[in-house]
Structure 1
């Protein structure tokens, strides 16, 4: 063998291993590693597919909040069917790109049972959606919505499965690559749920007995005051912070004792700023940030039951294009061994504890509402009214005091999805400043990828 040919073998081996999952399950691949001579076979739908290749070759069609709002106003049957067929064709395209991302993972990662489970779930969803014929009537749309809701419910295990799989594979792949992979998977998941839940909400609006098409009673007809589907046209900054703050304080009392003091939340700046947004996205971010600040403040200052805890200050600012939330606490800051890894899903010194905790959460919708399915307040707001989550909430629940290590990185994924940002500054032995910036115009397209070199979405 020539020297040049021999030097090319490592590259060829890596390339074959990376694409091993694409081979048929009926012809198991055998892999030998230096540390083991045990044969590994792959089961499940790891097979080539012409349909998958066709969908991977297609580009996604991103949307903006403004487009969602415009399309949902003055809803007619024709518009509803257009929405249904957009979702029918867009979901399998977005799923196909994520399936391809998983096929490109190293062999040792795709054989992980949790990653393999997500792959099979996505592949089954892809097959069902791509075989759905064009929707031409209201009855066909109702059946399609039933299919979509069933699939969204079945996919609730994706986040914990991915998180556990990534943590278990941390020793085989660089953490930065795993983080980029998981961020892309989660952004795509948010995008699919957004367009699916928006269409389900529009369908519920259209089927409502209080809906009158063609503007027969004047104005727009939505599924609630100032709602177009899942988009709230007049999301108020103060109301979001007050609602999330009250619920997080109740969660703290539930976790630490009814008589445990909780810090006051002070709102300053421009609290009356309004903007269009999907409430469940913003409430998840604000809720996670306030939960962290409340818990840190209690742990640092709450040893004396009679002591007055320092407040949490929320400064709200607005410009022509952005609304900015700055949440400041005096919880002592983030420990130095943890701070470098706060945005990572796979790095950090608490990996084993994360695995133990996430394994206790079989499903996760990543909404604030799931914390109250059986929790404090039984899913009511500060006025005692039921929480309005997505049209499919609550689909899951998790213990409110269980630390999963996913809150901050998942909050950043939510913020960046609509072209916003989330930054954190820790002052050692004092506290944390967290800055959330969101676009208040709603004219930015959804950001579906984490890396520029990813194909499609």
Structure 2
């Protein structure tokens, strides 16, 4: 314990030293911008629900698009400023890491552009504002991997002196930061999508009003098995149980992301356990259950499970069983987006971020493991769509 406290003191000193080396906001941006950021960070964020997005976007007439733009014009700077204020004051010197500074500056630039944009009054203003949103959306595409690289750098520095379980404040920050990012991209993506002709029938922006859980799960399974085949040379079978005709309103890309991650983990575990066996690997079972309040998706495998002592590590951002991508790539590069079925193996982000996606619309994700046998993952999705965003 004494060594941990000593290390924390040393890192606090590093943070102070970093502050004196020109990495603070005030060293790179005007006093006016910095004051505006911290003033906005004192304002309360306004959460919305899936049902609200559905009702609002059901008839995207000109007046509603203007109202949506006006809401985002006021709301997005508040959300961005909250994150900038946090990024400026992280413990253990994390704020001074180059990748974290890059992310912070992206948020500041987007904040400045939104604050300098005049009030949206008519359709012409709304169209120009939407173009700005498209620009901001693209700018923030790589936030997850770039932030992951900054955290990985901190992990390397601390690995010999502090265990990952000794950094609850870092985990709490990352949970809030990534949850906020999901919300920001959902709001921006939804507004942009309302401008576009529906790619598929029954879509209101990014939301499929008749999303088939079984159908999305099958797509995610196909993608996960394809990757497993490419990387491992084989892929266990996955059997889906559930009514393919059942539908409910949801964001298919979110569901795909979560199921893809769960199935990918199960495929890897089962393949590795039975790789040298003469027996055929048992199939992974995916069950879709319809409840009155929740849709529950269970992914069951016989991949050997993990010890109970290892379960807490599954939800941290500083633990992974895969090889770190930092071992194979230049640290200044990060090209992995995180809005589709992203593969972040090696960062240790798959499960914790999937749980955030589930919780964003009022669901949850839990893992139950039987060491020596296998693992069951339970993905709960709120069917009613009436839960507001859990804003950090």
State the TM-score, normalizing by the size of structure 1. 0.74
Alignment match, 2:211: 235
Distance 1:223 1:246, change over 3 A: closer
In the other structure, the counterpart of 1:45 is 29
Deviation at 1:307, TM superposition (A): 4.5
- Give the Cα separation in 1 of the matches to 2:67 and 2:210: 26
1:254 aligns with 2:242: no
Task: Give the structure 2 partner of residue 295 of structure 1.
Answer: 268
Which residue of structure 1 lines up, in the alignment, with residue 192 of structure 2?
A: 200
Map of 2:298 onto structure 1: 326
The more displaced of 155-164 and 78-87 is 155-164
Q: Does 1:404 align with 2:377?
A: no
C-alpha deviation, 1:31, in angstroms: 6.9
Cα distance between partner residues in 2 of 1:88 and 1:358 = 38
What is the 5 A alignment of 1:1-16?
none
Alpha-carbon spacing, 1:162–1:193, altered in 2? closer, same or farther (3 Å): same
Name the SS of the counterpart of 1:414 in structure 2.
Answer: helix
C-alpha distance in 1 between matches for 2:286 and 2:342: 24
Q: Deviations over 1:393-452 (max 9, x none)?
A: xxxxx8xxx543211111111111112111111211211110111101111111122xxx
- How far does residue 152 in structure 1 lie from its aligned partner after superposition? 1.7
Aligned with 1:225: secondary structure?
coil
User: Could you list the per-position Cα deviations for residues 3-54 of structure 1 after superposition, in whole angstroms to 9, with x for gaps in the alignment?
Assistant: xxxxxxxxxxx9xx79x99xxxxxxx7579xxxxxx7343533957332233
Maintained 8 Å contact 1:232/1:276: yes
Q: Are the equivalent residues in 1 in contact too, given 2:257–2:342 (CA < 8 A)?
A: no
Asked if residue 159 in structure 1 is aligned to residue 144 in structure 2, the reply is: yes
Aligned to 1:178: 170
In structure 2, the gaps of 5 or more residues are 1-8
Counterpart of 1:313?
285
Equivalent-residue separation in structure 1 for 2:167 and 2:244 (angstroms): 39
CA-CA distance at 1:236 after TM superposition: 1.1
In 1: Cα distance, 2:18 partner to 2:288 partner: 56
Q: How many residues align?
A: 370
Task: Pick the structure with greater CA Rg.
Answer: 1
Displacement of 1:340: 3.2
Match of 1:10 in 2: none
Asked if structure 2 preserves the Cα contact closer than 8 Å seen for 1:158 and 1:363, the reply is: no
Match in the other structure for 1:84: 69
Aligned equivalents of 1:107, 1:250: Cα separation in 2:
40
Instruction: Give the drift of 1:107.
Output: 7.0
For 1:64 and 1:443, locate their aligned partners in 2 and report how far apart those are by CA, in whole Å.
Answer: 6
RMSD after superposition: 2.9
* CA distance in structure 2 between the partners assigned to 1:283 and 1:358 by the alignment: 27
Higher helix share: 2
CA separation in 1, counterparts of 2:231 and 2:92? 42
Question: Bigger shift: 69-78 or 337-346?
Answer: 337-346
1:283 aligned to 2:248? Answer: no
**Alignment TM-score, normalising by the size of structure 2:** 0.85
For 1:339 and 1:46, the matched residues in 2 are separated by 46
8 Å Cα contact 2:241/2:286 also seen in 1: yes
| Runs (5+) with no aligned partner, structure 1 | 1-13, 22-28, 33-38, 206-221, 372-397, 450-457
Deviation at 1:346, TM superposition (A): 1.9
Q: What SS does the corresponding residue of 1:191 show, helix, strand or coil?
A: helix
Q: 2:89 aligns with which of 104, 113, 125?
A: 104
Separation of aligned partners in 2, 1:341 and 1:46: 41
Decide whether aligned partners of structure 1 residues 140 and 344 sit closer, same or farther in structure 2, where only a CA change above 3 A counts: same
Q: Among residues 313, 316, 320, which one is paired with 1:341 in the alignment?
A: 313
Give secondary structure in 2 for the equivalent of 1:315.
strand
Structure 1 position 356 matched with structure 2 position 339: no
Distance in 2 (CA, whole Å) between partners of 1:250 and 1:31 is 45
- Give CA-to-partner distance per residue, 1:173-212, whole Å, 9 cap, x none: 942110110111101011000000000001123xxxxxxx
* CA deviations over 1:202-243 (Å, ceiling 9, x no partner): 1123xxxxxxxxxxxxxxxx5531100001111112111111
Rounded Cα–Cα distance in structure 2 between residues aligned with 1:110 and 1:133: 32
CA–CA separation in structure 2 for the residues paired with 1:427 and 1:288: 19
SS of the residue corresponding to residue 324 of structure 2 reads helix
1:359/1:341 CA distance change after superposition, 3 Å: farther
Going from structure 1 to structure 2, the CA distance change for 1:369 and 1:268 (only over 3 Å counts) comes to closer
